[in-house]
Amino acid sequence: MNIEEVKKIIKENGIQSIDLKYPDLVCNWYHITFPSRRLDYVLKNGIPFDGSSIPGMKSVESGDMILMPDISTAIIDPFLEVPTLRMLCYICDADSRIGVKKDSRSVVKRAQDYMESTGIADKSFWIPEFEFYLFNEAIINNGKFSAGYSFTSAENKEDLPGGYKDIDGTAVANRKGYHIDIPFDKYAQVREQMVQLIEKIGCPIRYHHHEVGLSSQQEIETEIIDFETITDKMMYVKDIIHNCALKNELTATFMPKPIYDEPGNGLHFHIQLRKNGNNIFYKKGKYADLSDEALYFIGGILEHGRSLTAFTNPSTNSYKRLLPGFEAPVKLFFGLANRSAAIRIPKYATSKETKRIEFRTGDGTCNYYLAMSALLMAGLDGIKNKILPTTENFFGPFDDNIFKWTEEKQAKLRSIPATLEQALEALKQDNEYLLAGDVFNKELIETWITEKMKEVIAVRNRPHPFEMNLYYSL
């Protein structure tokens, strides 16, 4: 989209305001709004703001920063009453007007430029799978003298909202929710509203359905989209899901493990590399028809898998999802159609056009820009250094259920970190692959570790409600 097209949209739709959005380092969203008549001025000069007020962005003594709009991301806001155009921004230094090293969107741009510079590929394409719960109620309390939470769902007989009688008998129990049909899939129409809005912003959807969790767990999956486009679209998708849920008196969460002993929310990434329009992951006749480049790419991700989780699974709650028994991978290996693997090769993607890999470890608490850039950098490092995943190094391929192996054999597989703190420690030890092409830098990585350790300590220092069951009466 160019400036003439943007101005045409403003005129034809009576746009009165322009809302600029940008993420902080951990992917909380911020915004600032200005009258549409000031567009030309803002495109030239940007919007100044105090970067020191954004966690992890900049110090107080050098806080002046500039938001530079990216007109290619312009969409009409689907929720505000006043006709408003949204745009995403680059966060720039006030003097240079160049995206700063800690600006997530600029990391994506540098990752794309680096990939092109290697000559390995000129495009990467991605399919994200969004998993989330839609609760009727989410009551959360954390204070000095009380703590707890309560989620309810009108779909689950064991989890009904207060005052809800289920007089039509459509709440369900004692079964899984995967692909459950209407009327038991109570919020199928809400999910459809989300999909319609998502498609209107130019993000095509492959399909959507009820997921395994009976308390209204959902999945929406996009079609395959290029790297720079999909990272931005994902921000809009998440926002649409949250706002559409609220308009229907529901609340959405992408939290990896909101409910104990129930399925967690993952964020799976399907990845494919192309050069001159050709899928370089496909070669007929090898294992799963994967090329050497595909195998090396897999090897790079598995080799750096422990440090990658610091970006792909960056919450203390992430590691409550990564447990055996819930189709969540806990070991770093790959296999064909193997849902216990960190990297699954979809068995149905058999043609040259569709051949791809699926990274299954990630979750929705990640900063999409950083997590996907890190995955791309790890894979490219694997190709550059010809890191071949083999049964000898226990990276696979393994097509059987590894949880049926002997404990001795399972112990030879490399494990995903068990906690966020372990993941951050792995990132401290293994980050050189991220620094290639100046895509990431030491300051960004160190700030990330510092900010995330604050979360580790905040959770560690608080009494857990279940500790009351265990220790209160001793």
CATH number at residue 385: 3.30.590.10
Residue 105's pLDDT band, with cuts at 50, 70 and 90, is: very high
Rounded Cα gap, residues 335 and 192, in angstroms: 33
Specify whether 358 is catalytic: yes
Catalytic residue among 191, 268, 306, 356: 268
| Structural domain span for residue 385 | 123-471
Residue 393 belongs to a domain? yes
Specify whether 131 is catalytic: yes
144 to 148, 149, 455, 456, 461: CA distances (angstroms): 11, 15, 17, 18, 12
Terminal alpha carbon distance of the chain: 66
Best CA proximity match to 461, nearest among 138, 147, 54: 147
Catalytic residue among 232, 358, 363, 381: 358
Residue 112 belongs to a domain? no
Q: Are 73 and 137 found together in one domain?
A: no
Catalytic residue among 70, 103, 185, 219: 219
Q: Are 373 and 439 found together in one domain?
A: yes
Q: What are phi and psi of 214, to 5 degrees?
A: -75, -20
Residue type, 72: S
Asked if 65 and 93 touch (Cβ cutoff 8 Å), the reply is yes
Residue 116 belongs to a domain? no
pLDDT in tens, 112-157: 999 999 999 999 999 999 999 999 999 999 999 999 999 999 999 9
Specify whether 93 is catalytic: no
pLDDT in tens, 259-270: 999 999 999 999
Best CA proximity match to 363, nearest among 312, 301, 421, 420: 312
Q: What are phi and psi of 378, to 5 degrees?
A: -65, -45
According to the model, what pLDDT value does residue 434 have?
A: 98
**Considering the chain, what is the average pLDDT of its residues?**
95
Residue 1's pLDDT band, with cuts at 50, 70 and 90, is: confident
Residues 348-377: what's their mean pLDDT? Answer: 97
Q: Are 343 and 241 found together in one domain?
A: yes
Q: Are 47 and 144 found together in one domain?
A: no
pLDDT in tens, 385-442: 999 999 999 999 998 888 888 989 989 999 999 999 999 999 999 999 999 999 999 9
Specify whether 4 is catalytic: no
Specify whether 407 is catalytic: no
Residue 113 belongs to a domain? no
Lowest-confidence pick of 191-205, 292-306, 324-338: 324-338
According to the model, what pLDDT value does residue 54 have?
A: 86
Are β-strands 17-23 and 84-93 bridged in parallel, bridged antiparallel, or unpaired? parallel
Catalytic residue among 211, 262, 381, 455: 211
Return the H-helix or E-strand segment holding 124: strand 123-135
Enter the tokens of residue 161: 């909202």
Rama region for 187: left / alpha / beta (φ>0; ψ in -120 to 50; rest): alpha
Specify whether 339 is catalytic: yes
pTM: 0.96
Q: Are 132 and 83 found together in one domain?
A: no
Return the H-helix or E-strand segment holding 235: helix 227-247
Distance of CA 407 to the CA centre of its chain: 32
Q: Are 245 and 209 found together in one domain?
A: yes
CATH number at residue 40: 3.10.20.70
- State yes or no: cis peptide before 161, omega within 30 of 0: no
pLDDT in tens, 34-92: 999 999 999 999 999 988 888 878 765 457 899 999 999 999 999 999 999 999 999 99
Q: Are 360 and 448 found together in one domain?
A: yes
Rounded Cα gap, residues 449 and 431, in angstroms: 12
- Give the percent of the chain with pLDDT over 70: 99
Enter the tokens of residue 132: 């989330």
Q: Are 14 and 146 found together in one domain?
A: no
Best CA proximity match to 150, nearest among 15, 7, 4, 260: 260
- State yes or no: cis peptide before 183, omega within 30 of 0: yes
Residues 194-209: what's their mean pLDDT? Answer: 97
Asked if 383 and 275 touch (Cβ cutoff 8 Å), the reply is no
How many domains are there within the chain? 2
Q: Are 195 and 84 found together in one domain?
A: no
What length does the chain have? 474
Q: Are 142 and 221 found together in one domain?
A: yes
Check pLDDT > 80 for residue 97.
Answer: no
Catalytic residue among 50, 64, 226, 467: 50
Rounded Cα gap, residues 446 and 424, in angstroms: 10
Q: Are 76 and 133 found together in one domain?
A: no
Q: Are 131 and 15 found together in one domain?
A: no
Specify whether 303 is catalytic: no
Specify whether 360 is catalytic: yes
